[in-house]
Amino acid sequence: MPVVDVDPDELRELTGHEKTDEEFIDDLFALGLEFEGETDEGELQLEFAPDRLDRLSVEGIARSLRYHYGDARGVHVPDTNDADWTIEVADSVPDERPYVTGAVVRGVDLDDDALDSLIQLQEKLHATMGRKRAKGAIGIHDLTMIKGNAGGDGDGNAITYRGVEPDGDTFVPLDSDAEMTPADVLANHDTGRTYADLVAEYDRYPAIYDDLGLFSFPPVINGRRTEVTTGSRELLVEMTGTDQWTIDRMLAIVCYALSARGATIEDVEVAYPDADAATSASTDADADADADADATHPSAGRTLVRPDLEVTEKSVSHDRIESTIGVAFDPDEVVDLLERSGLDATYTLGEEVVYDVEIPPYRVDVLHPYDLVDDVGRAYGFNDLEPRYPDVGTVGGRHDRSRLEDAARASLVGLGFEDLLNFHMISGPENYDRLRVEPGTEVLGGGDPVEITEPYSEDYTQLRTWALPSLLMVLERNTHRTYPQDLAEIGLAAERDDAENTRVAERRTVAAVLARTDASYEDAKARLQAVCRDFDVALETPPTDHPTFIDGRTAAIEIDGERVGVIGEVHPAVLVEHDLELPVAAFEFRLDALE
């Protein structure tokens, strides 16, 4: 989970409370932030759940503490000045990264601590909500070094978000003294090489221009000309990405952090191209990269005023709050607790009390009424809840499935396997490609995946359809260990199934691998037979084909006449893909076949 370094002196200044480090640590724990240690400079290292992205900076943490202490109440939205700058979006912007947002920040006082906090917030947002810059990337510039051209109506200043050829215009990137094209940056600059994969497949690269030329190459690197220093007092914050909502929420978090430093936020207009921009560009005698555009921008014709600091609303019932937290509340007390969480609330009396809650724009975590219940509980104090026995007349016991799992696990351990517990989430390439399996096929592991809509990491984008990929990943990461390595896991596998109420079919699966110089099909089958004898079930292994295993050394697993899995010697191509230099035999089958 994210870890943020926080200077306790900054917390004292921003909260207005002269508390000791230990007192801050206790108060932060009540808010869900855990103390992980101190840096060499004496900064507190705080770990917290990745849903509260507004706490990725000392300013956000201080804001939460001020609400906790009762120094602030309700929703606060910073005032913004009218827009003087426009970001004009050209139709040549790469289709893969069409969205942009921005804000102007004036009167900011950036000492070393404030600048370090801003940089940390930028990088933490990149790593979390921005999905390592793939979904959203932040550029922060010294506004005084940007020369705006005349906007579309001739008033104010404008910059342009457009596409640039890889070997097109040059600029001097940060941490460099040389003029480079975007292609040069990706090939020869350390930061460029780090993020080259994000744009490597683009025909045109994203770029932001002012009247002097290219000054930002998102999502890779900014230009040195607009570098922010402690002497910067006026900033341009721009963000590009694949989703407008994501970058707008990231921008709101940054604007709130800078506003907490006493800065003034100024609107920016984002003007997307007209629907016929591509046509008009192609007829322009002086057409440049815009003439290559052959598709309408997804936000064609829209003009947005940003930052988007609109307050949203959500409702929650009084019964849900009381039944979840287990405390009887007066409605006015609930309103008070919500206001101490940085929210505003009103309620209506009827057959049941319902609260209409206003949510500030930096609270990207409030997606469900239970998120509001959590805020009420934290403001009340989870440590103040009195435990009580549940009012039920049942006696607890182990579930039959749990008993079966334990028995199967004991059998595998008795046969010499080391028991593993892996993540149930995985990436598509790990689940399919590296094992030569095609999604949507009939073979074991080939089911349609259950995709994660908003994955936190590109390494965990779906639920695994079988467990064997997880075991091979463990073998891959342990090639420095001694052999033999006999590993087994009993875990979850899932795939899409419209016949289920949830449209997801879940199952417990038993998987095992034997990695050793003499590993063979016979070795794996002997272990499988021993497991089946322990459960008094009939085993048959008719020949079959599976792309993960060697032809002629693969069989289906049939238990009591039902086909439930596969066994065989892993194909050399799969071994090479996982950097394994010795044979591996494996099997996998449904746990419920042993019942």
- Beta-strand relationship, 312-317 and 354-359: antiparallel
* Model confidence, pTM: 0.70
Contact 206, 186 (CB under 8 A): no
β-partners of residue 203 are: none
Check residue 150 and give its pLDDT: 66
Contact 86, 269 (CB under 8 A): yes
Check residue 521 and give its pLDDT: 96
- Up-side HSE of residue 370: CA atoms within 13 Å toward CB? 2
- Beta-strand relationship, 80-89 and 157-164: parallel
C-beta atoms surrounding 151 within 10 Å = 19
Residue 103 neighbours by CB under 8 Å, 6+ apart: 80, 236, 237, 251, 254, 255, 265, 266, 267, 268, 306, 307
Check residue 52 and give its pLDDT: 86
Cis preceding linkage at 219, omega within 30: yes
Q: Look-up: residue for tokens 């992205």? A: 53
**Residue ranges of the chain whose pLDDT lies below 50:** 278-294
Check residue 289 and give its pLDDT: 43
**Alpha-helical regions (H) of 104-231:** 112-127, 182-188, 190-195
Burial string for 439-451 (b: 16+ CB within 10 Å, else e) reads beeebbbbbebbe
Rounded-to-integer distance, Cα 426 and Cα 578, Å: 15
Distances (CA, A) of 333 to 70, 161, 240, 480: 14, 49, 42, 59
